[in-house]
């Protein structure tokens, strides 16, 4: 749910609730005010009637509003208000009256003065006032609601713009993230925090990239020196044992060097330092690469067959495409058996390379992870590199085993 | 043959120059851009080994100067960066070859010889080792005046041995030379043995001597001593 929608919804809910409570309480407040008013008026009126009786001796009687009766003895002591129901003869229905009863002594006689007022008259007023009040409330709130809704919308437009800017931001295009000022302290604070954070991330990213480049140089140079010296050592008169030790050292250093290069390559791929700028036909690529591998295939007497029913192409960096194919073919060769086969089938939506080999399938979960070794000769980085190249180039790779080992590459959905 | 080695890592510089001096080259050394610039204006070189990343400049800039003063020189870039961009850039600007560190001295030797051969347009492109002579233009091998037919890999291997005569070469180094980047794939080096056996047989058949000695089953050396 959008922030504004949520705010508006909450506002509307609160408004309804407040409106309801205010109107109901208004009703009761008006009721009390009116009742008190009527009571005061009745007491006043009773006073007037008392005077009239005292002065004129006339007893006014207007049923049901004024009812004065002469009493033989004193009955009631205090002023008393009552709600009573009287039958209206003309309309033949019960009506609710507010009754004021008072016993007074005028001269020698006792009189009971009863004054009545129909309550529904004040009820009408009450209702009218409440409705009016409610209406005023609704219009005030409503107008405010509409104004604030549009107003907050304009307040949030800058925020929305900044959100889009952040969404579009990429570390690769070397542009600093610049957010527009919003005039709102909190938003500006958030902006400056984000700007600082991205700046820090960007410098980190750049230095990581630089590290990847430099690490190669810094590590390869001492390795070169060590290898050079070992190679010269090899030219001297050595015992078999010494000779073997020098060779194992050379090979270990070479492994270290190629491991270093593979890891740097992986980092570069993950940092997306390769521009996907060429549309590569996998048909051409695999044919070309397989030719390079021909003599290597020969050493294991492996036969290669092709089945092209379409052209599979992808937009990818040429160097990465080369590495991808190289690793796939290496994999098919390395884990193949003597006099085995490699079958490459290509359709418009799939590139598939299958090879004969060990008679059990490989573990699908970790086959593409780093340092998953099939044998101790390799680092287990080849397929991790393949997987990374695929995933950074909108391709999907899958391993399938159906008596033969297959890798299938498709366009990611 | 005069070679200029431009390399900022002193150990490497000395190691390479010691090796090349033993191979009868005259070596001039430069461990920075400025020195390299100076040396380039003094002498003419047959081959220049050039490290791209120098403390006081980019080796690629030196390529321009080389082309001005030493256009005859063959240039081999030696770089720690295994970057295709650098490689293409360097080769575009007139370099003849590109080697990534770490490399083997025997491989460097072979590349230098190849560059020299390519640069000697009118020269005699025949490499002679006792009764074996190789014509590198025609890629033909003659033993005791009998032409022998070798496969491409066998030819490459024999040439590599003769260029690096009297040097111990490991199976791995030979495999690396033959397969370059894909050497890791050759998980056993039996095929080296197979190729080598074929060469030996063919040379013997033509009446030649087998000069390749096996060293403790782990390395080989072509020698007539």
- Binary contact (A247, B105; C-beta < 8 A): no
Task: Give me the residue from A231, A333, A378 closest to B104, CB to CB.
Answer: A231
Produce one character per residue of B105-137: b if its CB has 16 or more CB atoms within 10 Å, e if not: bbbbbbbbbbbbeeeeeeeeeebebebbbbebe
Q: Are residues A380 and A263 in the same domain?
A: no
* Chain A hits for B15, Cβ within 8 Å: 225, 228-229, 232
- pLDDT of residue A69 exceeding 60, the answer is yes
Which of 59-78 (A) contact B at CB < 8 A? none
- pLDDT of residue A292 exceeding 80, the answer is yes
Q: Are strands A66-71 and A109-118 parallel, antiparallel or unpaired?
A: antiparallel
Residue A264 domain-assigned (yes or no): yes
Answer yes or no: are the C-beta atoms of B221 and B164 closer than 8 Å: no
* Chain B hits for A334, Cβ within 8 Å: 185, 187
Of the three residues A270, A302, A331, the one that is the final residue of a domain is A270
- pLDDT of residue A257 exceeding 80, the answer is yes
Query: Largest alpha-carbon pair distance within chain A?
Result: 156
What does the pLDDT average to over A400-412? 90
Below-70 pLDDT ranges, chain B? 70, 82-83, 121-123, 181-188
Task: Give me the residue from B19, B184, B190 closest to A232, CB to CB.
Answer: B19
> Which pLDDT belongs to residue A310?
92
Residue A173 domain-assigned (yes or no): no
Chain segment A226-236, per-residue pLDDT in tens: 999 999 999 99
DSSP-derived letter for residue A91 is T
Answer yes or no: are the C-beta atoms of B122 and B101 closer than 8 Å: no
Q: Are strands B132-135 and A303-308 parallel, antiparallel or unpaired?
A: unpaired
Residue A151 domain-assigned (yes or no): no
Q: Are residues A221 and A312 in the same domain?
A: no
Q: Quick one: CA dihedral A28, A32, A34, A39, positive or negative?
A: positive
Query: CB contact, 8 Å: A118 with chain B?
Result: no
Task: Give me the residue from A224, A228, A334 closest to B185, CB to CB.
Answer: A334
Answer yes or no: are the C-beta atoms of A376 and A382 closer than 8 Å: no
Query: By CA distance, what is A264's nearest residue in B?
Result: B82
- Binary contact (B80, A296; C-beta < 8 A): no
Q: A57-66, A95-104, A196-205, B172-181: which has the highest mean pLDDT?
A: A196-205
What does the pLDDT average to over A182-187? 84
Residue A233 domain-assigned (yes or no): yes
Query: CB contact, 8 Å: A273 with chain B?
Result: no
Per-residue tokens: A205: 């990213």
Question: Rounded CA gap, B30 and A82, in Å?
Answer: 121
Task: Give me the residue from B12, B179, B187 closest to A228, CB to CB.
Answer: B12
Query: CB contact, 8 Å: A24 with chain B?
Result: no
Task: Give me the residue from B80, B168, B190 closest to A235, CB to CB.
Answer: B168
- pLDDT of residue A8 exceeding 90, the answer is no
- Binary contact (B11, A227; C-beta < 8 A): no
- Binary contact (A224, B9; C-beta < 8 A): yes
Query: CB contact, 8 Å: B167 with chain A?
Result: yes
For chain A, what is the domain count? 3
- Binary contact (A247, B172; C-beta < 8 A): yes
Determine if the peptide bond prior to B197 is cis (ω within 30°): no
> Which pLDDT belongs to residue B123?
63
What ranges do the domains of chain B cover? 2-119, 126-222
| Range scoring the smallest mean pLDDT among A25-29, A181-185, B221-225 | A181-185
Chain A nearest C-alpha distance from B123 (Å) = 31
- Binary contact (A334, B53; C-beta < 8 A): no
Query: CB contact, 8 Å: A254 with chain B?
Result: yes
CATH number 3.40.50.2300 is the correct assignment for the domain at B2-119: yes
Query: CB contact, 8 Å: B58 with chain A?
Result: no
Residues 6+ apart with CB under 8 A from B45: B2, B3, B4, B28, B70, B73
- Top pLDDT among B118 and A390 is at A390
Q: Are residues A127 and A205 in the same domain?
A: no
Query: CB contact, 8 Å: B71 with chain A?
Result: no
Looking at the domain covering B126-222, what would its CATH class be?
mainly alpha
- pLDDT of residue A263 exceeding 80, the answer is yes
Question: Rounded CA gap, A31 and A124, in Å?
Answer: 10
Cα→Cα distances A67→A61, A70, A100, B94, Å: 5, 10, 10, 129
- Binary contact (B218, A223; C-beta < 8 A): no
Q: Are residues A10 and A135 in the same domain?
A: yes
Write the burial class of residue B48 (CB in 10 Å: 0-12 exposed, 13-18 middle, 19+ buried).
buried
- Binary contact (A253, B102; C-beta < 8 A): yes
Query: CB contact, 8 Å: B81 with chain A?
Result: yes
From the list A403, A161, A257, A55, the residue with the least C-alpha distance to B104 is A257
Query: CB contact, 8 Å: B94 with chain A?
Result: no
Query: CB contact, 8 Å: B88 with chain A?
Result: no
CATH number at residue A297: 3.30.565.10
Query: CB contact, 8 Å: B101 with chain A?
Result: yes
- Binary contact (B181, A228; C-beta < 8 A): no
> Which pLDDT belongs to residue A281?
93
- pLDDT of residue A127 exceeding 70, the answer is yes
> Which pLDDT belongs to residue A374?
60
Name the pLDDT band for A378 (thresholds 50, 70, 90). low
Helix (H, G, I), strand (E, B) or coil at B100: strand
Task: Give me the residue from B15, B82, B190 closest to A229, CB to CB.
Answer: B15
Q: Are strands A303-308 and B212-215 parallel, antiparallel or unpaired?
A: unpaired
Per-residue tokens: B92: 């575009």
The range of the structural domain enclosing residue A204 comes to 186-270
Answer yes or no: are the C-beta atoms of B63 and B75 closer than 8 Å: yes
Query: CB contact, 8 Å: A220 with chain B?
Result: yes
* Chain A hits for B198, Cβ within 8 Å: none
* Chain A hits for B12, Cβ within 8 Å: 221, 224-225, 228
Query: CB contact, 8 Å: A233 with chain B?
Result: no
Query: CB contact, 8 Å: B116 with chain A?
Result: no
Chain B nearest C-alpha distance from A177 (Å) = 29
**Model ipTM over 0.85:** yes
- Binary contact (A251, B182; C-beta < 8 A): no
Task: Give me the residue from A221, A296, A375 closest to B80, CB to CB.
Answer: A221
A355 C-beta neighbours (distance < 10 Å), count: 24
């Amino acid at each position: 749910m959008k922030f504004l929608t949520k705010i508006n919804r909450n506002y509307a809910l609160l408004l309804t609730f407040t409106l309801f409570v205010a109107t109901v309480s208004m009703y009761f407040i008006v009721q009390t005010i009116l009742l008190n008013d009527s009571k005061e008026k009745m007491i006043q009126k009773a006073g007037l009637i008392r005077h009239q009786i005292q002065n004129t001796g006339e007893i006014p009687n207007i049923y049901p509003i004024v009812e004065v009766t002469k009493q033989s003895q004193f009955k009631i002591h205090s002023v008393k208000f009552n709600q009573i129901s009287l039958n209206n003869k003309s309309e033949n229905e019960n009506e609710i009256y507010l009754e004021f009863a008072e016993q007074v002594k005028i001269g020698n006689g006792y009189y009971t003065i009863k004054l009545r007022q129909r309550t529904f008259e004040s009820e009408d007023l009450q209702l009218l006032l409440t409705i009016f009040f409610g209406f005023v409330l609704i219009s005030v709130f409503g107008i405010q609601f509409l104004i604030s809704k549009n107003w907050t919308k304009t307040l949030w437009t800058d925020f929305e713009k900044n959100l889009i800017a952040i969404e579009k931001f990429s570390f690769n295009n070397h542009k600093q993230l610049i957010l527009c000022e919003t005039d709102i302290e909190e938003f500006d604070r958030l902006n400056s925090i984000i700007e600082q954070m991205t700046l820090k991330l960007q410098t980190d990213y750049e230095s990581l990239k630089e590290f990847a480049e430099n690490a190669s140089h810094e590590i390869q140079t001492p390795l070169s020196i060590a290898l050079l010296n070992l190679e010269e050592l090899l030219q001297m008169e050595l015992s078999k044992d010494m000779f073997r030790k020098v060779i194992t050292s050379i090979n270990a250093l070479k492994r270290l060097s190629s491991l270093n290069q593979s890891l740097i390559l992986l980092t570069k791929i993950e940092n997306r330092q390769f521009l996907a700028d060429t549309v590569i036909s996998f048909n051409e690529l695999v044919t070309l690469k397989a030719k390079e591998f021909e003599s290597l295939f020969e050493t294991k007497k492996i036969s290669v067959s092709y089945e092209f029913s379409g052209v599979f192409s992808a937009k990818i960096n040429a160097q990465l495409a080369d590495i991808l194919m190289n690793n796939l073919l290496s994999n098919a060769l390395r884990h193949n058996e003597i006099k085995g086969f490699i079958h490459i089938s290509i359709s418009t939506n799939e590139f598939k390379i299958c090879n004969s080999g060990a008679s059990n399938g490989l573990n699908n979960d970790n086959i593409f992870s780093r340092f998953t070794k099939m044998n101790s000769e390799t680092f287990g980085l080849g397929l991790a590199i393949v997987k990374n190249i695929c995933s950074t180039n909108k391709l999907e790779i899958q391993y399938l085993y159906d008596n033969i080992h297959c890798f299938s590459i498709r366009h990611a959905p | 043959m005069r070679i200029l080695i431009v390399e900022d890592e002193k150990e490497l510089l000395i190691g390479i120059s010691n090796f090349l001096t033993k191979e009868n080259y005259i070596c001039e050394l430069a461990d920075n851009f400025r020195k390299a610039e100076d040396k380039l204006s003094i002498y003419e070189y047959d081959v220049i080994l050039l490290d791209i990343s120098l403390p006081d400049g980019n080796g690629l800039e030196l390529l321009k100067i080389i082309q001005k003063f030493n256009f005859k020189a063959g240039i081999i870039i030696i770089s720690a960066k295994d970057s295709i961009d650098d490689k293409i850039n360097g080769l575009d600007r007139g370099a003849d070859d590109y080697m990534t560190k770490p490399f083997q001295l025997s491989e460097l030797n072979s590349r230098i010889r190849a560059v020299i051969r390519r640069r000697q347009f009118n020269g005699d492109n025949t490499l002679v080792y006792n009764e074996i002579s190789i014509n590198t233009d025609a890629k033909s091998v003659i033993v005791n005046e009998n032409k022998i037919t070798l496969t491409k890999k066998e030819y490459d291997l024999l040439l590599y041995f003769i260029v690096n005569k009297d040097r111990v070469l490991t199976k791995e180094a030979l495999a690396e030379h033959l397969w370059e980047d894909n050497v890791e794939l050759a998980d056993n080096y039996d095929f080296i043995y197979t190729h080598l056996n074929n060469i030996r047989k063919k040379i013997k058949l033509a009446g030649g001597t087998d000069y390749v000695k096996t060293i403790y089953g782990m390395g080989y050396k072509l020698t007539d001593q």
